[in-house]
Amino acid sequence: ALDVSVQAQIVNLFEKLQEQLNAGYVFISHNLSLVRFISQEVSVMYLGRIVEQGNSESIFKNPLHPYTKALLAAAPIPDPKKKRNRKDLVGGQVPSPINRPAGCFFNPRCKYRMDICTKEYPPMFKADENHYVSCHLYSTSQEQGGESK
């Protein structure tokens, strides 16, 4: 909620301190363009659980979890000539964090929902060397000996 110029100054300060102190930090934000700019590693959370994590380039270039895809599809595009791909947008209401759904927490809003999604929370699946996703779409295809989707 900071003014753009103040935000830029703070981000520059973060980067300067990171270099000087050889330190890392946890940056929590809904501003995906800023997350992409300053982060080497990214974790995407839904209702308090990590649904996807990996290096920033992998997450932003090849999002796997339907929620990550929805977040990126909803982010503003600064170029008015570019059209948004609306196929990954989701509807529905976010469930109560106190009374989360059974199985995968995203299942009530997911267009790829399968029976298992309503019963079991998916394990974290290693999609590649630096990219992990918690989604039955990927764990199910791996069990069947197929490639990840």
Give first-to-last CA distance, the chain, whole Å.
36
Could you give the C-alpha distances from 129 to 54, 106, 144, in angstroms and in order?
Answer: 9, 25, 20
Q: What is the pLDDT of residues 132-144, one digit of tens each?
A: 999 999 975 555 4
pLDDT at 141: 54
Q: Which of 45, 49, 47, 63 is nearest to 138 (CA)?
A: 63
Q: How many CB atoms lie within 10 A of CB 67?
A: 24
pLDDT at 147: 45
pLDDT at 142: 52
Residue 149 in domain: no
Q: What domain count does the chain have?
A: 1
Q: CATH number, domain at 72?
A: 3.40.50.300
Q: Which residues in the chain show pLDDT less than 50?
A: 144-149
Owning domain of residue 86: 4-143
Residue 148 in domain: no
Rg (CA), the chain: 17
Rounded CA gap, 109 and 79, in Å?
29
